[in-house]
Amino acid sequence: MKLIPLGILGSGKGSNCRAILESIRSGALAAEVRVVISDVFDAPILDIAREFSIPNAYLTPGKFHTRLEPQAEAELVRMLREANVELVVLAGFMRILKSPMLEEFPRRIVNIHPSLLPKFPGLEAWRQALEAGEKITGCTVHYVDEQIDHGRVIGQREVPILPNDTPETLHARIQIAERELYPAVIAAFARKYQAS
């Protein structure tokens, strides 16, 4: 079976990375994670990669807080190219990608965001939805472009907002939906890859 080669980028706990790796291990997802890369030296996502025996690396991001320095982004492109990655999966990667990555992987970089985009882009989207008095929120997988949480929507999963929800309880339920949606969306890419 032809497995779609993934590169996963993350800055934090890695719960979506774990969901993807468990989906692969169970046979539900015809993919192979070639590398996990983090811009945070001690990010738990790197521990998850080691737990699953996946090659992993720390990428020195440089002096900017919201994006990579140009030479760091060039290095990221090199690392992903060396690993022969077909699809780049952002799993809590907290930096905006620019032209080197977007040109190297056109329509092959995906991200998951904890709202029903285009509503509530940016940080703490679950809190934004709660404060806006929404009845329903959820999560979105989308293509990555130059703007934050903006590219074309690939898939969404709705999560109802309950009367007694706090930001924490709502976020926890959105994360459950994310861990179901992300592997399912990647599986659709895997089917196209197998057919190519």
User: 113 an active-site residue?
Assistant: yes
In the numeric block, the tokens 């190219």 are attached to 81
Give the C-alpha distances (Å, rounded to integers) separating 37 from 70, 100, 149.
17, 16, 20
Instruction: Kindly state the tokens that stand for 103.
Output: 């040109």
Report d(CA 186, CA 4) in Å as an integer: 9
The token pair at 54 is 């996946």
Identified catalytic residue from 113, 142, 150, 171: 113
Kindly give the pairing relationship between strand 136-143 and strand 153-160: antiparallel
Q: Which positions are catalytic? A: 113
